[in-house]
Structure 1
Amino acid sequence: MVYWGPDSNNCPFFHRQALAAGAIKTSQFKEEIVVMWLNYAVIGLAILALLGVVLEEVIHVNKAKITLFLGALAWILLFAFNSGDPEHQEAVIQGLESNIAEIAGLWLFLLAAMTFVAYLNKKGMIENLIYLFLPKRVSERKLLFLTGLFCFVFSSLADNITATLVSVTLILSLRMDLAKTLRFAALVVFSVNSGGVALITGDVTTLMIFLQDKVDILDLLLLSIPSFVAVMFMATVLSFGLSGDVIVQQHRTDVRGVDIAIAGVFLATILGTIVLNVIYQIPPVLTFLFGLATMFLVARFFNDDIENDPILEYIRVIEFETLLFFLGILLLVGVLKEVHVLESLLAMYSQVSPLVANYLMGLLSACIDNVPLTAALLKSGITMSKAEWMGLTYAVGVGGSLLVIGSAAGIVAMSKVRGLTFGSYAKYVPALLGAYSVGYAGVYLMAKYAM
């Protein structure tokens, strides 16, 4: 049989079909190679970012600079690899817009919450509130348990960021030595994350699982029991070796009417966020921006927005380093989500039981942001019982406590407590892992026998 070439009209039909099929296979093979190398590149950048955070004190490069650089670079590579395919490039554009929208919501929420806390801290309101409940002299062990209780309760009502900011302010005001301060900081991170899983306003992942009708309000409230037991277990472990007393130096400041009014606005904003989110599903960022604007207007009403202390200046006091670090981390996680690396983790559920897989997902959430991880699990269509969904809710909410970079609470604490680094926090991983395991086992037993 004579073959005249691919463009010849004399080429037999089945030859042209075979040639076309071969071209398609070649094109698919090249595309698979490109996707494979893109995945390797993105995963490599994510690993470099993690190493940059871990080795910050060794390389003397700020973690926010590293993660932001690598996060932006990852998206640039994603666009470059898909430049020849209009359909894929459009999907990348939509993915970036969605990722930026999520980041913007988080940024604006943090901006509002941090500005409130910066103002109240500068005016001495938080310190005065602490002195109202703390005795002038208290043992270090008792103070440790009181701190865990306060963080657990407060984070159930407020968001994790605000709860961490207030709790860290409490610790720093006591002026303990660094070793003891780090113990308290580790307990704050774990307690804040544990308290947030029991209410839909306390943790984003809890809200996501609730909105998908996997659990209901009463189920979530039951989670507070094993979560609290885990916090007390963590406090007990950390209390070994503490034998001294803490003398609370009470330096009360004069409270002005405008400060009380703004504190009231802050409290109303927190409560309003809970109520409006439950009733009308209004995003927390919207209510906090409304509260921030109300704060500005209240200061103007009291004629306190003066030239030497303008209310808008408190926005500049907040930790922009923390916000930039969040930006870099979330950009990287967004790219991992776009290239479907996170979805490959779901294969775990076909290899082990949901009980084990959920526990491992909690450990994984210490390295990967729990929001896209939870979203991937919810979209995967996996089938689990209500008890197993409760286990996942606890795992992804508390598992991030195992590493200081694994949760928003840890990142905020790291930015506020001098000396709290990836390495110094890692000393408490055995205690944190034990407390996490105790809580997870408690969830399983409670769900098994109470439901």
Structure 2
Amino acid sequence: MKSIRPIEGRSLATPLSKLLLFLAVLFSPSVFAVSPANSGQILDLTATSAGYISIMIFVLAYLLVMGEEVIHLRKSKPVLVAAGLIWGIIGFIYVQNGMSELSEAAFKHNLLEYAELFLFLLVAMTYINAMEERRLFDALRAWMVGRGFSFRTVFWLTGFMAFFISPIADNLTTALLMCAVVMKVGGINHKFISLSCINIVIAANAGGAFSPFGDITTLMVWQKGVVHFAQFIDLFIPSLVNYLIPATIMSLFIVNRTQLVQEDEVIVKRGAKRIVGLFLLTIATAVCTHTFLGLPPVLGMMTGLGFLQCFGYFLRMTFDKSVAKKRKQAEIAQDKKRLSYLGQVVPFDVFTRIARAEWDTLLFFYGVVLCVGGLGFMGYLSLVSEAMYSHWDVTYANIAVGVLSAIVDNIPVMFAVLTMNPDMGLGQWLLVTLTAGVGGSLLSIGSAAGVALMGQARGIYTFAAHLKWTPVIALGYVASILVHLWLNASLF
């Protein structure tokens, strides 16, 4: 038989042939081979090539998420791809074993969990965007800036407002609003701005921990039914302690002087206060739907979206009449500023507010839920649950969850815990809710609020600036846990 010689000394194993060979081996059925299982049983893929490849895909995707600020790749993109690849691997294996109905049912279960949270968050974001469009937050900022408060007063005022606003509005929106205030007041005083940003991140995360509406993690816990709406209030004092201890220490390093800043008057658009009222009514509807009717809270939230749409219709239908009336009043008063403003105002459009939702966050949430759900279906979460909640003390395991959430986003961490569903009492579920919520404050990258403020106060509030105060923040973290263990001992 005639031998084949390499042409011009080059190997026939070109990069293309190597790639094709790798893909052929990678996707061959033998690579994904699993031990035979009884009909109807879920396959354990934790010790297979398919499982290892899925773990590698998820880790790579999350490394890209963590490097978002450096590579400028939105965090939703890598996890969307990872979710598709992981479930594609699962689907391929289950088809090979004639069990595709199990993988399909598992995927639909995870998709339904995401859909409920997605619609809930979409309504909440729409209301927040509507309040922003009505200039309610601008008016609040102008009031704070124009009062001539000292630096230390602004530090405490923005911190407490972040703490008490974030349980209703999300912690990201609250942090951005308060950061705008401290940057306006601080001017060139970078130390004040940096300390205030750290303070705001801690306050927003702590405030969001004792309310189902304050953070995605608390919302997931409430939606899952492991903690009821009224029971979150047991975390109020531990959350307050988590904020007060580092805030008190940091406030000692702020020079207590006043810097008057002139802020232009902000004209709030018509219907702003009524939209706030509708938002509170929507929250009440969601709570009542879940508490008294036994239905998912998303039903109440979507009903609340209908409230906003109906009110938006009223604002549009009465828009021309309202503008004409206000223009006549401004002409009589010779108010040129208001006349100029009325010439620029446009009718309220609820669908524009929906379009301005944080779609990157919502799609990132989809990728995380499906990735973690896929790895859980493979059997990895059972292994983690066995390692953490069987071999460790439950309290230590829940404290570790909070520390982990400072490195990895708290959304996948909490979703993993909920998917594991360890056998814990109410006190422990409240503990892990607390630690996952406030643990992200230990590092600037540990929460959405921290990441957002690094972008808003770029070069002033940085990872290194936050890291300098991590030991102080850790004091608050430990103190809040001890207070919870002592104050809510009857719940354990």
Deviations 1:73-131 (A, max 9, x none): 222222223321232x3222122212222222232223222222223223311222445
8 Å contact from structure 1 (residues 70, 332) kept in 2: yes
CA gap of 1:55–1:325, structure 2 versus 1, over 3 A, is same
The answer to whether residue 63 in structure 2 is matched with residue 44 in structure 1 is no
In the TM superposition, what is the alpha-carbon distance from 1:375 to its structure 2 partner?
A: 1.9
8 Å contact from structure 2 (residues 227, 429) kept in 1: yes
After TM superposition, the structure 1 = structure 2 runs for residues 247-326 of structure 1, keeping only pairs within 5 Å, are: 247=260, 249-303=262-316, 309=347, 311=349, 312-326=351-365
Match of 1:350 among 386, 390, 402: 390
The answer to whether residue 204 in structure 2 is matched with residue 192 in structure 1 is yes
Match of 1:441 among 469, 479, 482: 482
Number of equivalent positions = 419
Match of 2:152 among 117, 131, 141: 141
Hey, what's the Cα distance between the residues in 2 that align with 1:191 and 1:430?
16
8 Å contact from structure 1 (residues 273, 288) kept in 2: yes
CA gap of 1:376–1:324, structure 2 versus 1, over 3 A, is closer
Query: In the alignment, what sits opposite 2:324?
Result: none
Q: Aligned with 2:397: secondary structure?
A: helix
Q: Aligned with 1:351: secondary structure?
A: coil
In the TM superposition, what is the alpha-carbon distance from 1:26 to its structure 2 partner?
A: 6.8
Hey, what's the Cα distance between the residues in 2 that align with 1:278 and 1:413?
36
Query: In the alignment, what sits opposite 1:55?
Result: 67
Q: Aligned with 2:268: secondary structure?
A: coil
Query: In the alignment, what sits opposite 2:14?
Result: none
Which letter maps to 1:225? I
Query: In the alignment, what sits opposite 1:22?
Result: none
After TM superposition, the structure 1 = structure 2 runs for residues 238-249 of structure 1, keeping only pairs within 5 Å, are: 238-239=250-251, 241-243=253-255, 245=258, 247=260, 249=262
Q: Tell me whether 190-199 or 405-414 shows the greater mean CA deviation.
A: 405-414
Match of 1:71 among 83, 96, 104: 83
Which letter maps to 2:397? A
In the TM superposition, what is the alpha-carbon distance from 1:440 to its structure 2 partner?
A: 0.9
Deviations 1:261-319 (A, max 9, x none): 32332232234434444443453433332222222221221336799545022222333
8 Å contact from structure 1 (residues 56, 62) kept in 2: yes
Match of 1:96 among 95, 104, 107: 107
Query: In the alignment, what sits opposite 2:120?
Result: 109
CA gap of 1:76–1:184, structure 2 versus 1, over 3 A, is farther
CA gap of 1:303–1:447, structure 2 versus 1, over 3 A, is closer
Deviations 1:186-216 (A, max 9, x none): 4444333323443556567667778999778
Hey, what's the Cα distance between the residues in 2 that align with 1:274 and 1:400?
27
The answer to whether residue 208 in structure 2 is matched with residue 169 in structure 1 is no
Hey, what's the Cα distance between the residues in 1 that align with 2:466 and 2:284?
32
Which letter maps to 2:283? I
8 Å contact from structure 1 (residues 343, 376) kept in 2: no
Q: Tell me whether 120-129 or 207-216 shows the greater mean CA deviation.
A: 207-216
In the TM superposition, what is the alpha-carbon distance from 1:52 to its structure 2 partner?
A: 0.8
CA gap of 1:338–1:216, structure 2 versus 1, over 3 A, is closer
Deviations 1:357-380 (A, max 9, x none): 2211222344252442332453x3
The CA RMSD over aligned residues, in Å, is 3.9
In the TM superposition, what is the alpha-carbon distance from 1:439 to its structure 2 partner?
A: 0.9
In the TM superposition, what is the alpha-carbon distance from 1:233 to its structure 2 partner?
A: 1.4
In the TM superposition, what is the alpha-carbon distance from 1:228 to its structure 2 partner?
A: 0.6
CA gap of 1:279–1:326, structure 2 versus 1, over 3 A, is same
CA gap of 1:247–1:330, structure 2 versus 1, over 3 A, is farther
Hey, what's the Cα distance between the residues in 2 that align with 1:124 and 1:411?
24
Hey, what's the Cα distance between the residues in 2 that align with 1:123 and 1:207?
26
Percent identity, aligned pairs only? 28
Hey, what's the Cα distance between the residues in 1 that align with 2:484 and 2:299?
33
CA gap of 1:248–1:362, structure 2 versus 1, over 3 A, is same
Runs of 5+ unmatched residues, structure 1: 1-24
* Structure 1 length-normalised TM: 0.77
Hey, what's the Cα distance between the residues in 2 that align with 1:435 and 1:360?
15
Query: In the alignment, what sits opposite 1:398?
Result: 438
Hey, what's the Cα distance between the residues in 2 that align with 1:276 and 1:32?
38
Hey, what's the Cα distance between the residues in 1 that align with 2:225 and 2:297?
20
Hey, what's the Cα distance between the residues in 2 that align with 1:265 and 1:219?
24
Deviations 1:347-402 (A, max 9, x none): 22333322322211222344252442332453x3x356x65454334223433444
Q: Aligned with 1:86: secondary structure?
A: coil
8 Å contact from structure 2 (residues 178, 200) kept in 1: no
Query: In the alignment, what sits opposite 1:375?
Result: 418
CA gap of 1:337–1:140, structure 2 versus 1, over 3 A, is farther
Query: In the alignment, what sits opposite 1:236?
Result: 248
8 Å contact from structure 2 (residues 223, 296) kept in 1: no
In the TM superposition, what is the alpha-carbon distance from 1:245 to its structure 2 partner?
A: 4.1
8 Å contact from structure 1 (residues 168, 413) kept in 2: yes
